[in-house]
Amino acid sequence: MKKTGAFYKQDHACTFCVWAPEKEQVTLHLIRPEDRSFAMTKDEEGYYSVTVENVVPGAQYYYHIDGQDLPDPASGWQPADIYGPSAVVDHEAYAWQDQQWHGMPFKDMVLYELHVGTFSPEGTFEGIIPYLDDLKDTGINALELMPVCQFPGERNWGYDGVFQYAVHHSYGGPEGLKKLVDACHQRGIAVFLDVVYNHLGGEGNSFHHFGPYFSQIYSIPWGSAINFDGAYSDGPKGYFANNVIHWLEQYHIDGLRLDAVHCIFDNSAVTLWEVIRDKVAQLTATTGRKYYLIGESDLNSPAILKNPSDGGMGLDAQWLDDFHHILYVLLDKEGQARYADFNQLEQLAKAYKDGFVHTGEYVQFRKRRYGRSSAGISGEHFVVFNQNHDQIGNRVKGERLSVLVDQGRLKVAAAAIFLSPYVPMLFMGEEYGEDNPFFFFVSYKEEEHIKGIQEGRKKEFESFLKEGEMFPDPQSEETFIQSKLDWGKRKRGKYRELLEWHKALIQLRRSNEVLQNMCKDDLFVQLIGGKGYVLHRQSRNGMEHLLCLFNLSEEVLEYEMPGFKKEWNKIMDAGAHTEKMRVGELLQLQPVSVVIFG
């Protein structure tokens, strides 16, 4: 499985390699700074290659195949968008300043998902850098960038990107991403990148001209599945497995979040997952750094975390959607319409204690038994959140949680994830209660794709549209502009109050040894009258205890303080009128509140 793409050498020579196993001829066509063409040589596995002298960084080229010029599937840069020529990138030219960065344990991270185009007014990688100190001051120490590989146009979530190795031109291209990662590492902030290996975008996709990248066996919702186990599957498998190393090695990325891994199908004896894990292990041996792979999965299966040799995917962690669903339903009375199978406080207790809520029961939404228990798997293997791009952007009005519930419930929601035994993640702006929407948006060029996405989104959400209500046009630039953060809010009023609450929670999580214990066997949940709960956390040696009391109702709840300690001292709260409590005393837990005693 050779690496494909353009590999620049410091002596101004460049080797070009492309996979096209069924083609009789492929020609490299350099178009800038001068027009030159070179026949390429094919090996036994279908890889064409040629080394050319006197090539400068930024040189633009196509592969001439089937009578037409086409961009490189492994292009590292598309300066003129998806239909333009590919460009040579000199990865050795950037002078990295992050030599002191050695990464951090995943369990210590506070992840922060952001969309590059809407995070700052500039909508670029470099536009993020001025805000890094504020994020660090909040306690955030890991960015998770939504996909940045080349997609059509200027505006997009990135999940229908085409060129998996190319950094989007409107965000700042390869150098812009390196500057951002460098700036993050110098501040002690890790960087994760969201990648999509289950399909490729439709507009500008010419991969079928090169080889059988796509499967005829499997069906997925967003287009053709990738061919990871059929005839000629070595090419696609190498393309995507090498892409993992591309981001980790060339851009110093600390880890990847892999989109919808349940739609990646590979029944080979040696799967894509095993190839990836071997390559990552080799890179770790070279650099001495630990890299992390996080999966988004719709399977509710702990096999995601198993070693590939044991039939798993070998991922380090996965998103815990069940935690979001049940907590949201308990906080927002309208949530039941979206998540009909989540409706009991006992399910939240199960999410804290075990992980997955659905572990083999019959689920109405699925029309089948669904899931398997994740009990016994330690908390650092799960990521929890109250909001993410999907949960906000897949609503008709793109409402954030701050628009759906009041300030008290926002504080309860934040405490629920930061006091959990899991790795917490915030969506950009959540820390101060941003209330601008986050819509789904695109900027396609072809009328077929524009109409397809407009009609598809409208049909998908027509059951949520009220009479006379219009669905925001994803193609409209205004939809994109409305989705930008208003960063100045965080300094005033209720926004500042919520920001300070998040800071305090993150600081408590980071400084308290009890919250450092991510073993779920040392955690207990007690329900209070079906309207609240006590999250009892303890240290590994059982000597230190925290009582995290949550009231999700509109009425005062009473709780008798337990006998683990003679006296309990309040650490922080959003709704209590006492500083100390003794064993056996009744605590008056105020409506919609959380109180922490230690």
Percent of the chain with pLDDT over 70: 98
Residues 124, 153, single domain; the answer is: yes
Burial of 100 (0-12, 13-18, 19+ CB in 10 A): exposed
Q: Is 500 a catalytic residue?
A: no
Q: Before 437, cis peptide (omega within 30)?
A: no
Q: Helical H runs in 419-476?
A: 447-460
For residue 525, say whether it is annotated as part of any ligand binding site.
Answer: no
Look at residue 468 in the predicted model and tell me its pLDDT.
Answer: 63
For residue 35, say whether it is annotated as part of any ligand binding site.
Answer: no
Give the residue from 178, 292, 201, 278 showing the smallest Cα distance to 238: 278
- Show the beta-strand stretches assigned E in 402-457: 423-427
Look at residue 458 in the predicted model and tell me its pLDDT.
Answer: 79
Q: Is 259 a catalytic residue?
A: yes
Per-residue pLDDT at 564 exceeds 90: no
Residue 135 within any structural domain of the chain: yes
Residues 66, 153, single domain; the answer is: no
The helix (H) or strand (E) run that includes residue 191 is strand 190-195
Per-residue pLDDT at 566 exceeds 90: no
Per-residue pLDDT at 319 exceeds 80: yes
Least confident of 256-265, 316-325, 557-566: 557-566
- Show the beta-strand stretches assigned E in 56-189: 60-65, 68-70, 86-87, 111-114, 142-145, 149-150, 163-167
Full-model pTM: 0.97
Per-residue pLDDT at 365 exceeds 80: yes
Burial of 476 (0-12, 13-18, 19+ CB in 10 A): middle
For residue 388, say whether it is annotated as part of any ligand binding site.
Answer: no
- Summary mean pLDDT of the chain: 95
Per-residue pLDDT at 577 exceeds 90: no
Residue 202 within any structural domain of the chain: no
Q: How confident is the model at residue 278 (pLDDT cuts 50, 70, 90)?
A: very high
Per-residue pLDDT at 223 exceeds 90: no
Look at residue 190 in the predicted model and tell me its pLDDT.
Answer: 98
CATH assignment at residue 308:
3.20.20.80
Residues 431, 286, single domain; the answer is: yes
Residue 485 CB partners (closer than 8 Å, separation 6+): 118, 119, 120, 428, 429, 434, 436
CATH assignment at residue 71:
2.60.40.10
Residue 39 within any structural domain of the chain: yes
Residues 67, 143, single domain; the answer is: no
For residue 293, say whether it is annotated as part of any ligand binding site.
Answer: no
For residue 12, say whether it is annotated as part of any ligand binding site.
Answer: no
CA distances from 301 to 144, 295, 296, 357 (A): 23, 11, 11, 11
- Show the beta-strand stretches assigned E in 115-168: 142-145, 149-150, 163-167
Residues 475, 334, single domain; the answer is: yes
Per-residue pLDDT at 576 exceeds 70: no
Under 8 Å between Cβ of 590 and 411: no
Mind listing the pLDDT tens digit for each residue in 83-100?
999 999 999 999 999 999
Three-state secondary structure call for residue 29: strand
Residues 497, 532, single domain; the answer is: no
Per-residue pLDDT at 297 exceeds 90: yes
Residue 367 within any structural domain of the chain: yes
Residue 331 within any structural domain of the chain: yes
d(CA 326, CA 384): 12
Residue 585 within any structural domain of the chain: yes
- Active-site pick, 296, 341, 430, 573: 296
Residue 52, token pair as written in the block: 């050319």
Q: How confident is the model at residue 462 (pLDDT cuts 50, 70, 90)?
A: confident
Residues 253, 134, single domain; the answer is: yes
Per-residue pLDDT at 469 exceeds 90: no
Residue 595, token pair as written in the block: 């109180």
The DSSP result for 465-532, as a single string, is: PPTTPPPP-TT-HHHHHHTS--GGGGGSHHHHHHHHHHHHHHHHHHH-HHHH---GGGEEEEEETTTE
Residues 318, 406, single domain; the answer is: yes
Last residue of a domain, one of 473, 507, 541: 507
Residues 503, 540, single domain; the answer is: no
Give the residue from 161, 311, 140 showing the smallest Cα distance to 247: 161
Residue 68 within any structural domain of the chain: yes
Q: How confident is the model at residue 575 (pLDDT cuts 50, 70, 90)?
A: low
CATH assignment at residue 570:
2.60.40.1180
Q: Which domain holds residue 540?
A: 518-597
Last residue of a domain, one of 87, 117, 149: 87
Residue 305 within any structural domain of the chain: yes
Q: What is the mean pLDDT of residues 173-197?
A: 98
Long-range contacts of 363-368 (CB under 8 A, 24+ apart): 364/340, 365/339, 365/340, 365/341
Under 8 Å between Cβ of 396 and 463: no
d(CA 553, CA 438): 29
Residue 55, token pair as written in the block: 């090539």
Look at residue 524 in the predicted model and tell me its pLDDT.
Answer: 96
| Phi/psi at 480 (5° precision) | -70, -45
d(CA 29, CA 543): 70
For residue 323, say whether it is annotated as part of any ligand binding site.
Answer: yes
Per-residue pLDDT at 30 exceeds 70: yes
For residue 337, say whether it is annotated as part of any ligand binding site.
Answer: no
For residue 260, say whether it is annotated as part of any ligand binding site.
Answer: yes
The helix (H) or strand (E) run that includes residue 547 is strand 545-551
| Phi/psi at 209 (5° precision) | -70, -25
Last residue of a domain, one of 457, 477, 507: 507
Burial of 356 (0-12, 13-18, 19+ CB in 10 A): buried
Residues in the chain: 598
Residues 529, 483, single domain; the answer is: no
For residue 6, say whether it is annotated as part of any ligand binding site.
Answer: no
Residues 71, 125, single domain; the answer is: no
Mind listing the pLDDT tens digit for each residue in 381-439?
999 999 999 999 999 899 999 999 999 999 999 999 999 999 999 999 999 999 999 99
Q: How confident is the model at residue 374 (pLDDT cuts 50, 70, 90)?
A: very high
- Active-site pick, 72, 81, 182, 259: 259
Under 8 Å between Cβ of 198 and 220: yes
For residue 390, say whether it is annotated as part of any ligand binding site.
Answer: yes
Residues 498, 532, single domain; the answer is: no
Domain count, the chain: 3
Q: What is the mean pLDDT of residues 270-276?
A: 97
Q: What is the mean pLDDT of residues 234-258?
A: 98
The DSSP result for 4-23, as a single string, is: -EEEE-TTS-EEEEEE-TT-
